[in-house]
Amino acid sequence: MEPSKKPLNTLIRSINNNVIVKLKNGIKYKGKMIQADGYMNLVLKGAVEFHGEDQVANYGDVFIRGNNILYICIDAGTA
């Protein structure tokens, strides 16, 4: 696999994009990813928490531990 197409490199290049992060427990967070590391730990700015389709909470910044992540949708916009 080319280095530019490795998942971690793609994640790092996507800093400052809007993302949707779904956790293994089914909770989703939407916000702007401002930091990511080699363990896929993320910091989201202006994060909103969803349970299913229902918005539950608005947060300023959240830290998400990488081993709890099921998937990350990059460049999600505000949808």
**24-69 per-position pLDDT tens digit:** 999 999 999 999 999 999 999 999 999 999 999 999 999 999 999 9
Q: What is the mean pLDDT of residues 3-15?
A: 86
Instruction: Say what the pLDDT of residue 21 is.
Output: 98
How far is 14 from 50, CA to CA, in rounded Å? 22
In contact, 60 and 66? CB cutoff 8 Å: no
Strand partners, 31: 19
Q: What is the mean pLDDT of residues 5-32?
A: 94
Domains of the chain are 3-74 (2.30.30.100)
How far is 51 from 27, CA to CA, in rounded Å? 5
In contact, 33 and 44? CB cutoff 8 Å: yes
